[in-house]
Chain A
Amino acid sequence: MNKSNLLLNNSLNDFLKSKNYLENNMLKEIQRVRNDEGGGWAGHFVDSGCLTENELLRLIIEETGLPYIPILGVTPPDQLLNEFTFDFMKAFECFPVDKIGHILTIATPNPFQQELIRSRQTANCEIELFVCRVSEWREKIRLVTQKNN
């Protein structure tokens, strides 16, 4: 299957269910918590303890072939960072890495997000995804928020 089709046609919960990391009752509870608290799937799965961050990373890389990026070492340009609100980054579990020409590079612990790709992909903008760990992504968001405050 084409990589972009794979990402657009799947969701993380379906993917983890297919890999037997998630049972129906566990998914139901995580879904309820997510509805209550908001946020992205990857963070909720890790917080619930159903799999570790490294396991999630390994599974995603094996399935999608997307490259891993150590996001803590990345400093995106301020102009690019201003294009994303923190609420958006938290809800879609993403972090902009760079924009060169018409290619926007985004790091995310959960690449199975149709909305993220569709919200930023236009005729003049192509999305390139990288995978990162949930803890690293959270720490990066915290550091950037701290810097901005």
Chain B
Amino acid sequence: MAFLQFLTVNFYLIVIYSTIYYNSLNTFVIKRIYVPGAIMKRKSRNIFMLPRDIRIRLVIAFSLMAVIPLLATIYFVTIYLSNIQIPVLFIKLTLLASMILMCAGFIIMRSCIWSIIDIAHTTDQLIVDPMRKKSANDDFLRFEHFLLYMEDQIYAAKRILRTKRKINSHVRAFKLPTLIPSSLVKNRLISLTKKAEINCSQLGIFAWKSSNVSKDESNDETFIPLWLINFLKDITITPDAIGRLSPGYWIGWSENKSVKEMDEYLKSVRENISSNNLNNITTVAFSHPSAHSDLSFLRNSIEILEID
């Protein structure tokens, strides 16, 4: 009886180790006697590009999580069917060992996945590890192919996401234009006008000034007043960005806007002002450089934008 048990245990141990060796080292010694190993080999073809380290860990994790519990089950079923009496403690210990090995397999599997996600760190290790000198060139080339493959996959995935976004995109109720920090508004506008002049493109410039400035607006440079929000909601052209020059004085711009579009905008704004009795608000809109080719006044003093 003891001899039979000894043989069974040894058989399973051989199978476990052979699985690991077979898949990691690709030896053909036990190919004929071990079927799961052959299945694993076929599956592992899909992961041939992974670094050797990760491949080996994957196989070990697979063996620990799938093969060992399966073998333990077969072992106990065989014993049960053969009516062989074995101590309960031995069963408990075997089950406990199986569970511990399964957990170890899970930890190894998790580390494999993280090695792929955290690919920069894996690359760093691949270069630093002195144990890799022997098969370094082969490994690097394979790893480079793997990275290129992943790059392609990532780009493809991003394309799919973008397409999905385009299909699913709804009309947005309202979005405030990007707010530019006050200290940068003037310089930004100057650089944009220069760019428009060089590229011969049209830059739409908007300016709003209110004579009534609220306390909130005076205290907080990022506070966009309600009158301006209402203006932005009503107008047909949405500025790319807006910024506050001083409390109550806001400026916005939009690239590639024609003179005609700006005139239409200004007309609609004037109608809006007169219908809502907003006499305390001054609005200016023009297209640069067509409408105002000379903007030296803008560079010297932005206040001159109040001309209408």
* Chain A residues with a Cβ under 8 A of chain B: 29, 32-33, 35-38, 46-49, 52-55, 72, 83, 122, 133-136, 138-139
How near does chain B come to A109, taking the closest CB pair, in angstroms? 11
Q: How far is the CA of A127 from the CA of B109 in the complex (A)?
A: 26
Provide the bound-state CA to CA distance between A37 and B242, in Å.
21
CA distance A35 to B170 in the complex (A): 10
Report whether A49 and B229 are in contact in the complex, using a CB–CB cutoff of 8 Å: yes
A35 CA to B173 CA, complexed, in Å = 15
| Known A33-B172, A54-B220, A122-B121; contact A46-B179, beta-carbon cutoff 8 A | yes
Residue B275 is within 8 A (CB to CB) of chain A in the complex: no
Closest B residue, CB atoms, query A33: B172
Partner of A133, one of B173, B175, B176, B222: B222
A135-B180, A139-B181, A139-B184 known; A49-B170 Cβ under 8 A: no
Bound: A72/B165 CA distance, A: 32
- Say yes or no: A47 contacts B175, CB within 8 Å: yes
Cα-based distance from A123 to B261 in the complex (angstroms) = 57
Neighbour of B223 across the interface among A32, A54, A72, CB < 8 A: A54
Kindly list the 5 A-B residue pairs having the minimum CB-CB distance in the complex, ordered from nearest. A53-B222, A135-B179, A52-B222, A54-B222, A52-B223
The answer to whether A36 touches B169, judged by C-beta atoms less than 8 angstroms apart, is yes
A38 to B165 alpha-carbon distance, docked (Å): 9
A33-B172, A36-B170 given as contacts; is B220 within 8 A of A52 (CB)?
yes
In the complex, chain B residues 217-252 whose Cβ is within 8 Å of any chain A Cβ: 220-224, 229
Interface residue B137 (Cβ < 8 Å from any Cβ of A):
no
Q: Is the CB of B222 within 8 A of A138?
A: no
Q: Is B27 among interface residues, defined by CB-CB distance under 8 A? A: no
Given contacts A52-B222, A139-B184, 7 further A-B contacts (CB under 8 A): A33-B175, A38-B165, A52-B220, A54-B220, A54-B221, A55-B220, A135-B180
For A55, what are the chain B residues with a Cβ–Cβ distance below 8 Å?
A: 220, 222
Q: 17 pairs across A/B with beta carbons < 8 Å?
A: A32-B170, A33-B175, A36-B169, A46-B179, A47-B175, A48-B174, A49-B224, A52-B220, A52-B223, A54-B221, A55-B220, A72-B184, A122-B121, A134-B179, A135-B180, A138-B178, A139-B184
Residues of B within 8 A of A48 (CB): 174-176
Interface of A is mostly: helix
List which B148-167 residues lie within 8 A (CB) of chain A. 165
**Closest Cβ of chain B: how far from A133's Cβ, in Å?**
7
Closest to B183 in A: A72
Given contacts A37-B165, A54-B220, A133-B222, contact A46 B181 (CB under 8 A): no
- Name the residue in A134, A135, A136 with the highest tally of chain B Cβ atoms < 10 Å from its Cβ: A135
A46–B176 Cα distance when bound, in Å, is: 8
Question: Complex formed: what's the CA distance from A35 to B224 in Å?
Answer: 25
- Complex alpha-carbon distance, A133 and B165, angstroms: 27
A55 to B173, CA, bound (A): 23
Q: How far is the CB of A118 from chain B (nearest CB, A)?
A: 11
Bound together, the chains give a CA A135 to CA B223 distance in angstroms of 12
User: Could you say which residues of chain B place their CB within 8 Å of the CB of A46?
Assistant: 176, 179
Residues of A within 8 A of B178 (CB): 135, 138
User: What is the CA–CA distance of A133 and B180 in the complex, to the nearest angstrom?
Assistant: 11
| Minimum Cβ distance to chain A for residue B228 (Å) | 11
**Contact residues in A for B176 (Cβ distance below 8 Å):** 46-49
Contact at A52–B165, with CB atoms within 8 Å?
A: no
CB distance from A89 to the nearest CB of B (A): 15
| Chain B residues whose C-beta falls within 8 Å of the C-beta of A52 in the assembled complex | 220, 222-224
| CB <8 Å contact, B173 and A29 | yes
B168 within 8 A of A: yes
Other-chain residue from B121, B170, B175, B181 in contact with A135 (beta carbon distance below 8 A): B181
Smallest Cβ-Cβ distance to B184: which chain A residue:
A139
Asked whether, in the complex, the Cβ of A135 is within 8 Å of the Cβ of B168, the reply is no
On chain A, the residues within 8 Å of B170 by CB distance are 32, 36
Complex CA gap A48/B175 in Å reads: 6
Provide the bound-state CA to CA distance between A46 and B177, in Å. 10
Closest to B217 in A: A52
Measured CB to CB, the nearest residue on chain B to A29 is: B173
B222 contacts across to A, CB distance below 8 A: 52-55, 133, 135
